[in-house]
């Protein structure tokens, strides 16, 4: 389904936990807008992270949603940062079915020292929190398919600028990203928007003889329109994303396509951990034991899986027979 957006069509569409693809037909610029409510609230509240870490992880979750929706794949899209600062890792992944999860790895001592000596935490930069490192995204379509990965340095004012830098440097694709994360009345919300101009991707712009200067002007105008979107507008669930798109881009002939719902979920299982145990030596298995058992905790959802000697012996027996 696709529709040209008009006034007050938003009541027919999802308000929260949704990805909305769209196209600016007059310019051939495509985009995605995401709004997250209960899904991101559940993910962030599952972890006992400081507020500023929740804000960073929320940004990663929103970026994961918009970036994965740009790609056609069947499998899992992962966005992960690794660095040497107080926030050592941020990771989020989403399946092609829209199931999302995320977690962070922090140096609690270093982070406490940083927060204690900083009166206004909002003044902390991305590199203050993460230090030096990189952010990578990976598309995994299974063991028999080639993995796609992109990597860019953790530089700029925020993670969105890192992603924009990646597309500019590696793919040379004009890309604009806008993300906001906030906690209101105890509930977390996030919104994100991405614009991309990909030559040959459709729209009126692909069927005319616009020169480079005109294409550049189209892109700059679209970026100005996107940047005019306020945090309140991006996060306001009473303002449907379709109505917001019309408000921002109605002069660009904005067309919307089928929405995709988002939901929180974890793919961990006892079976997956058992398969890991099958692949390691007896000595390594013993090194994982505490008080005679392996107690493995999923960092995404917090679920624990306990393997005692009898369970481990059965797993190793199955491995020997396979």
Domains of the chain, start order: 2-264 (3.55.30.10), 270-321 (3.90.1280.10)
Write out the chain in H/E/C secondary structure: CEEECCCCCHHHCCCCCEEEEEEECCCCEEEEEEEECHHHHHHHHHCCCCHHHHHHHHHHHHHHHHHHHHCCCCCEEEEEEEECCCEEEEEEEEECCCEEEEEEEECHHHHHHHHHCCCCHHHCCHHHHHCCEEEEEEEECCCCCCCEEEEEECCCCCHHHHHHHHHHHHHCCEEEEEEEEEEECCEEEEEEEEEEECCCCCCHHHHCCCCHHHHHHHHHHHHHHHHCCCHHHHHCCCCCHHHHHHHHHHHHCEEEECCEECEECCCCCHHHHHHHHHHCCHHHHHHCCECCEEEEECCCCCCEEEECHHHHHHHHHHHHHC
Nearest-angstrom CA–CA distance, 206 and 28: 6
Predicted confidence at residue 9, as pLDDT, reads 43
Predicted confidence at residue 3, as pLDDT, reads 64
- pLDDT band of residue 205 (cuts 50, 70, 90) is very low
308 pLDDT higher than 50: yes
Of residues 204 and 246, more confidently modeled = 246
Give the rounded percent of residues in the chain with a pLDDT score beyond 70: 92
Predicted confidence at residue 281, as pLDDT, reads 84
Of residues 287 and 229, more confidently modeled = 229
Over residues 111-126, the mean pLDDT reads: 95
pLDDT, tens only, 33-64: 999 999 999 999 999 899 999 999 999 999 99
Over residues 251-261, the mean pLDDT reads: 95
Among 89-98, 154-163, 204-213, where is mean pLDDT lowest? Answer: 204-213
Predicted confidence at residue 15, as pLDDT, reads 84
Of residues 7 and 133, more confidently modeled = 133
Nearest-angstrom CA–CA distance, 124 and 249: 33
Q: Which two tokens stand for residue 281?
A: 């030596």
- pLDDT band of residue 207 (cuts 50, 70, 90) is very low
pLDDT, tens only, 229-240: 999 999 998 999
- pLDDT band of residue 10 (cuts 50, 70, 90) is very low
Residue length of the chain: 322
| Contact present, 91 and 221 (Cβ < 8 Å) | no
Q: Which two tokens stand for residue 267?
A: 């793919």
Nearest-angstrom CA–CA distance, 27 and 265: 37
| Contact present, 321 and 286 (Cβ < 8 Å) | no
8 pLDDT higher than 80: no
Predicted confidence at residue 2, as pLDDT, reads 62
Cα-based torsion angle of the residue sequence 162, 195, 35, 120 in order, rounded to the nearest 10 degrees: 40
Nearest-angstrom CA–CA distance, 113 and 27: 49
Predicted confidence at residue 11, as pLDDT, reads 44
pTM (2 d.p.): 0.90
Strand 263-264 relative to strand 29-36: parallel, antiparallel, unpaired? unpaired
Phi-psi region of 185 (alpha: psi -120 to 50; beta: other; left: phi over 0): left
Among 64-68, 93-97, 143-147, where is mean pLDDT lowest? Answer: 143-147
Task: Give the mean pLDDT of the chain.
Answer: 90
């Amino acid at each position: 389904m696709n529709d040209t957006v008009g006034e007050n069509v938003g009541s027919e569409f999802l308000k929260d936990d949704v990805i909305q693809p769209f196209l600016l037909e007059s310019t051939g610029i495509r985009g995605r807008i995401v709004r997250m409510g209960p899904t991101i609230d559940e993910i962030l509240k599952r972890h006992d992270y400081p507020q500023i870490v929740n804000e960073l992880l929320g940004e990663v979750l929103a970026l994961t949603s918009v970036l994965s929706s740009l790609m056609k794949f069947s499998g899992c899209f992962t966005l992960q940062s690794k660095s040497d600062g107080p926030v050592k890792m941020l990771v989020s992944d989403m399946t092609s079915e829209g199931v999302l999860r995320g977690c962070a790895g922090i140096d609690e001592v270093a982070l406490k020292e940083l927060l204690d000596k900083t009166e206004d935490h909002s003044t902390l930069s991305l590199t203050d929190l993460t230090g030096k490192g990189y952010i990578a995204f990976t598309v995994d379509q299974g063991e028999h398919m080639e993995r796609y990965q992109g990597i860019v340095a953790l530089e700029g004012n925020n993670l969105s600028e890192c992603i924009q830098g990646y597309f500019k440097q590696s793919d040379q694709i004009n890309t604009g990203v806008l993300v906001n994360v906030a906690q209101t009345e105890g509930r977390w919300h996030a919104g994100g928007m991405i614009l991309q101009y990909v030559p040959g991707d459709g729209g009126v712009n692909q069927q005319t003889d616009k020169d480079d200067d005109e294409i550049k002007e189209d892109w700059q105008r679209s970026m100005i329109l996107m940047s005019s979107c306020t945090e309140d507008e991006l996060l306001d669930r009473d303002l449907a994303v379709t109505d917001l798109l019309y408000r921002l881009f109605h002069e660009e002939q904005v067309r919307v396509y089928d929405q995709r719902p988002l939901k929180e979920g974890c793919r961990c299982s006892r079976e997956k951990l058992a398969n890991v145990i099958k692949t390691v030596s007896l000595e390594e298995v013993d090194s994982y034991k505490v008080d005679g058992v392996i107690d493995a905790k999923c960092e995404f959802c917090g679920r624990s899986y306990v393997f005692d000697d009898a369970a481990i012996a059965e797993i190793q027996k199955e491995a020997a027979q396979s």
